[in-house]
Amino acid sequence: MSEWVMKPKPYVPDLRRLGALCDSNYQRIARLRLLETPGLTVSEFELYRETEYFGRVQIQLLQKARYTETLLLEQTHNGGRWLNNPQMTVRVYHDANMAEVISCYRDRHIAAVNNYPNRFMHHPDEKMQINSFLADWLDFCLRYGHAPLSQSAWSAGDEVL
């Protein structure tokens, strides 16, 4: 008598859902007014609600090309003892009106699909989850972010790296 062994179906990314998420993240970044300020390379703002302090967010322009920008989003001076400080590199595609996470914390590359289990225990849909986290984090920034602390711009001749 032979045993039937069912193999799990391989994960297939939902590109329509990922595209919609990247589109909405672009809109969230635009609402933070980071895409509308020419020459802006660093923006910082505080996160707080009434008497609760959530930390400080810094957004830095790492690279600028004709149709894309690369941003480093980082939360520092977190108010909670047990909270991690998110740090993400986000590629912004102006021609497609999309923004996607290209690295998160120490992960240099986020694969669209991961075999599971894997060495780092990344989920099969890790890319979707990280971009969903970016959406939640940007919503949090839009809700609790207050007055830019500082903004600096490069002069017209400086190169952004």
User: Which region holds residue 110: left if phi is over 0, alpha if psi is between -120 and 50, else beta?
Assistant: beta
Domain boundaries, the chain: 15-143
What pLDDT score was predicted for residue 151? 52
pLDDT at site 161: 39
SS3 19: helix
What is the three-class DSSP state of 115?
A: coil
Which one of 13-17, 23-27, 72-76, 130-134 scores highest in mean pLDDT? 23-27
If pLDDT is split at 50, 70 and 90, which confidence band does 111 have? low
Tokens standing for 51? 């008497």
Q: Is the pLDDT of residue 82 over 60?
A: no
In tens, the pLDDT along 20-30 reads 999 999 999 98
- The pLDDT of residue 14 is 83
Q: Which segment of 68-72, 85-89, 114-118, 129-133 scores lowest on mean pLDDT?
A: 114-118
| Per-chain mean pLDDT for the chain | 79
Residue 136 sits at the vertex; the CA angle it makes with 134 and 141, to the nearest 5 degrees, is 90
The whole-angstrom separation of Cα 10 and Cα 32 is 38
CA dist 135 and 67 (Å) reads 22
Q: How many CA atoms lie within 13 A of 60 on its CB side?
A: 11
